[in-house]
Amino acid sequence: MELSGSVAQNLRDAIKSARRLRVQRVYPDTVRYWRQLIEFARKKSLRSNAGDWMIGELIEALEAEMEQLICAAPHL
């Protein structure tokens, strides 16, 4: 996966987008990208000791936002 910017910044941006999109329909491609980003971040944090706690917290925050989207929008 190629990212523009750091993994942490991409996770933060995804969290902001998920919060903004809570009341709107979210495209399946967007959800798929967020899931790929989470998987990529997990793998990267396992290979690196620096910043693991921060990446882990961001992953948890994005997963929580996605859970709210999925619960609120059965079409996902």
Record the pTM.
Answer: 0.81
pLDDT at residue 75, rounded to an integer: 52
pLDDT at residue 68, rounded to an integer: 85
Cα angle 44, 48, 52 (rounded to 5 degrees) comes to 85
Domain ranges in the chain are 7-72
Taking only the tens of pLDDT, the chain with its 76 residues reads 888 889 999 999 999 999 998 878 788 899 999 999 999 999 888 777 655 788 999 999 999 999 888 655 555 4
Long-range contacts from 13-19, C-beta under 8 angstroms, 24+ separation: 14/62, 15/58, 15/61, 15/62, 15/65, 18/62, 18/65, 18/66, 18/68, 18/69, 19/65
